[in-house]
Amino acid sequence: MKVLISPESVEEAMSVIDYGMDILDVKNTKEGSLGAQFPWNTKRVVEACREKGIKTSATLGDLPFKPGTAALAAYGVAQTGVTYVKAGLHGMNTYEQAFEMMDAIRKAVRMVSDTADVVASGYADWRRFGGVSAFDVVKAARDAKCDLVMVDTAIKDGKTLFDNMSVQELKDFVKAARDAGLGVALAGSLKFEHAERLFEINPDLIGVRGAVCEDSNNRHTRICPKKTEHFVQMFHAGPAAFKAKAVA
């Protein structure tokens, strides 16, 4: 299982760049769950990661329903050379709106790059704020010819991915994504204790921040390099590693 780590700043990104993550995520949590980072910071991280062969992702924000604004943002982000362009479909509540957004974003990215993957991000807690359902996000991503789909949590109040969607719902989400030919990622205050359920659901990718921070209960504390290395190693090793640790 691949692991994405989300630093809050260039300095924090550089402190963990050598600790084995598959993807280094560039975002600004001061502006939300998928808050957008400044382009000059994104560019610095992308260039540093490219030298080390690490893939990068960058978020466009927790977006309102403004396809033109989102497309222009996507056009700019794609010019940094990032591997994945992620859009948080926060201000939408229908499939039609989600499709219009992702169609515009994909077209804008393709004006710049034939290789950058376009990621449609829904929210596991969509029912709490009246957002578009995770399953409609899958349909919109498929029809807009995106590359991946994911869910995160928009409301960071201690509730996790699993507080908002059941294991069966998440299995159905992953299956729907794969049936649509999409890669699939899960995020949302994930921790070590969620490992067994994550391996059971088996997404392509998981994204974390809080779990590898100095204070695992406060995602605004600094990321700890040793925790990052341990987390990545354990998830790369697979479910047997967690079972062995539990027995020990």
27 is catalytic: yes
Q: Residue 55: beta bridge partners?
A: 23
Catalytic residue among 43, 55, 86, 139: 86
How many other CB atoms are found less than 10 A from the CB of residue 10?
Answer: 18
- Three-state secondary structure of 87-127: EECCCCCCHHHHHHHHHHHHHHHHHHCCCCEEEEEEECCHH
How many other CB atoms are found less than 10 A from the CB of residue 22?
Answer: 16
Catalytic residue among 27, 43, 55, 227: 27
Place of tokens 């059971």: 200
Measured between alpha carbons, how far apart are the two ends of the chain, in Å?
Answer: 23
Asked if residues 151 and 165 have their Cβ atoms less than 8 Å apart, the reply is: yes
Asked if residues 9 and 223 have their Cβ atoms less than 8 Å apart, the reply is: no
86 is catalytic: yes
Just list the catalytic residues: 27, 86
